[in-house]
Structure 1
Amino acid sequence: MKKFLFYIFKIFLVTVLVAFLLDGLYTYIFMQSKNRGKIEAVVNSEAKKYDVVILGSSRANNHFVSQMFEDKGLKTFNYGMSGGHLFEASLMLKLMIERKYEIKNVILEADLNLSNEKMAEGIGSLFVPFIHNSTIIKDHFKNESDFNELYYIPFYRYIKYDGKIGVREVFFTAIHKKTNSQDNLGYYPLEKHKNGNMKNNIVNLNPLPHNKYYEEIKSICKANNINFIAVMTPMCENVTGMNYFDKVKKAYPEIYNYENVVVEDKYFSSCGHMTDAGAKIFTAKIIKDFFNK
């Protein structure tokens, strides 16, 4: 019986040791990355200067044409992330401030995601490799239900989010394989597709009266003398429940409603995402209203 228990103990010890080694190896590789995605590009960066930083979900990533700001002499990067929520947008801004970025203006796409305070697993998981190397990231995740497992159990986070930060991503990161996330100064243009979903129903969507992460972004901007511009971006013609945007305006009167600046379906790739042509019309309006004064 003693031999059996000792054997089990040895297996346990080896498992823990391997977990620690793999955890350290994976983390080391991610800590060297700067060209795979927007998150590690910020985490592993030094101080930068921007006239305009754009934050939000895919409705920021696909809607703000960075080069158009640059053409006006405004150093700009679009840090919008497809699938992201305000949870991730707030954390990105915190990390920029920690790295002493000098930012004059933050444009936040704040509309549909005001309805939740959840972490978007597909995007939030990409911060997890750095949870031991950044107090900002650690504190941001503290209220997550599995924080203790993520933080204290070696290699757990890489197993849980294997699809995003597992062996495949580690391999591509190790060989410095680029993605297109940083092309076009972070802006991702879309094309018109025949089979694009041109209907949407947001009847049951309601903005939270005081979204925690929206308020964090606003407070960070105020504390760092950053001009904060929050906007609602366009949706296609066939949306049921468009009074959602009126609800947002009532709860957050400082958010500018640009929902109806572009409405024709020909300018949309899907109901919630404009094509490159639509994005250029929208961006031109934003620049005219806020940067041509």
Structure 2
Amino acid sequence: MKNFLIYTAKILALVILIAIALDGLYTYIFMQSKNRGKIETAFNSSAQKYDVVILGSSRANNHFVAQMFEDKGLKAFNYGMSGGHLFEASLMLKLMIERKYTIKNVILEADLNLSNDHMAEGISALFLPYIHNSEVIKDHFSDQENFSELYYIPFYRYIKYETKIGFREAFFTAVHKKTNKLDNLGYYPLEKHKNGNMKNNIVNLNPLPHNKYYEEIKSICKSNNINFIAIMTPMCENVVGMNYFEKVKKAYPEIHNYENVVIEDKYFSSCGHMTDSGARLFTKRVLKDFFNK
């Protein structure tokens, strides 16, 4: 029995050592990444200067044409993340502040995601390689149920979110394989598809009366003298429950309602996402209304 316990202890010790080694290796790889995605690029950068930073979900990523801001003399980047929630948008802004970014204006796509204050696991996982190297990332995750496992158990986060930050992603990062996430200054243009879903029902959607992460973004902007511009972006003609946007305006009167700036289906790839031509019409209006451009 004694020999069995000793053998078991040795195996356990070996597993722990391997986990620590792999954790260190994966983290080192991600710490060198600058060309695969928006999160690692922000983490591994310092002291950037922007006139306009765009935050939000895919409805930011696909709706704000960053190059059009640049063409008007405004240094801009679209940090919208498809699939992301306000949890990730807030953390991205915190990370930029931690990295000493100078930002004049933040445009936040704030509409459908006001209905929840959950993290989007697939996107939030991309911050986790840096949880031991950034206080703001650590603090942002600290009130999540599985924080202790993610923070204290070596290699656990890489196993749990293997499809996002596991071997495949680590390998492609190590060999410096680029993605298209940083193309077009972060903006991702969409095309018109004949099979695109042009119907949507948001009748049961309600904005939270106090969305924690929206309020965080607003507070960060105020404390860092950043002009905060919150915008509801367009949806197609066939949405059921469009009074959701009126509910948002009532709960958050400072958010600008632009949901009807572009409405024709020909400008939409799907009901909630405009094509490139629609995004350009929308961005043109934003430039005119908020920047006199």
TM-score (norm 1): 0.99
Instruction: Name 1:42's counterpart in structure 2.
Output: 42
Q: Percent identity?
A: 82
Q: Deviations over 1:199-237 (max 9, x none)?
A: 111111100011000000000000011000000000011
Tell me, what secondary structure is at the counterpart of 1:231? strand
Q: Deviations over 1:163-204 (max 9, x none)?
A: 000000000000000000000000000000011111111111
Instruction: Name 2:144's counterpart in structure 1.
Output: 144
Q: Deviations over 1:15-69 (max 9, x none)?
A: 0000000000000000000111000000110101100000000000000000111
Amino acid at match of 2:255: I
Instruction: Name 1:127's counterpart in structure 2.
Output: 127
Q: How far off its partner does 1:260 sit?
A: 0.2
Structure 2: how far apart are the matches of 1:95 and 1:153?
23
Moved over 6 A (4+): none
State the Cα RMSD in Å. Answer: 0.6
Instruction: Name 2:215's counterpart in structure 1.
Output: 215
Q: How far off its partner does 1:276 sit?
A: 0.1
Q: Deviations over 1:123-173 (max 9, x none)?
A: 000000100001110000001110000000000000000000000000000
Instruction: Name 1:226's counterpart in structure 2.
Output: 226
Q: How does 1:271-290 map onto structure 2 within 5 Å? A: 271-290=271-290
- Residue ranges of structure 1 left out of the alignment (5+ in a row): none
Amino acid at match of 2:181: S
Instruction: Name 1:187's counterpart in structure 2.
Output: 187
Instruction: Name 1:110's counterpart in structure 2.
Output: 110
| Structure 1 position 66 matched with structure 2 position 53 | no
Structure 2: how far apart are the matches of 1:15 and 1:240?
54
Amino acid at match of 1:38: K
Q: How far off its partner does 1:3 sit?
A: 1.1
Amino acid at match of 2:117: E
Q: How does 1:190-269 map onto structure 2 within 5 Å? A: 190-269=190-269
TM-score (norm 2): 0.99
Q: How far off its partner does 1:7 sit?
A: 1.0
Structure 2: how far apart are the matches of 1:133 and 1:51?
27
Structure 1: how far apart are the matches of 2:48 and 2:153?
34
Instruction: Name 2:55's counterpart in structure 1.
Output: 55
Instruction: Name 1:32's counterpart in structure 2.
Output: 32
Amino acid at match of 1:209: P
Tell me, what secondary structure is at the counterpart of 2:64? coil
Count the aligned residue pairs.
Answer: 293
Structure 2: how far apart are the matches of 1:235 and 1:178?
32
Structure 2: how far apart are the matches of 1:97 and 1:133?
15
